[in-house]
Amino acid sequence: MANKPQPIKTLRAGRIQTAIWENHSNKGPFYNVTVSRSYKDGDTWKSSDSFGRDDLLVLAQLLGATYTFILQKQAEN
């Protein structure tokens, strides 16, 4: 069984998280980001890519930290 790809970094604030994925091309590495919000449906934890008003400022802060992390990775290369 093949290993499932994992993000190189995950940043989390409460129920909201960003995952940073490193990809490679002939021009070098590049980065993509996925964003999600965890919620509980009964006893089961689920994930959504939909955000409410009260999530937006937290999301903005996480995206800023995600951007900074990517800039630092690019500076290393």
Look up residue 44 and give its amino acid: T
Residue 1 lies in a domain: no
Residue 49 lies in a domain: yes
Pair type for strands 16-25 and 28-41: antiparallel
User: Tens digits of per-residue pLDDT, 9-65?
Assistant: 999 999 999 999 999 999 999 999 999 999 999 999 999 999 999 999 999 999 999
| pLDDT score recorded for residue 1 | 57
Name the residue with tokens 């009260």: 54
Instruction: State the total domains in the chain.
Output: 1
Give the C-alpha separation, 24 to 22, whole Å. 7
Domain limits for position 54: 9-76
| pLDDT score recorded for residue 3 | 86
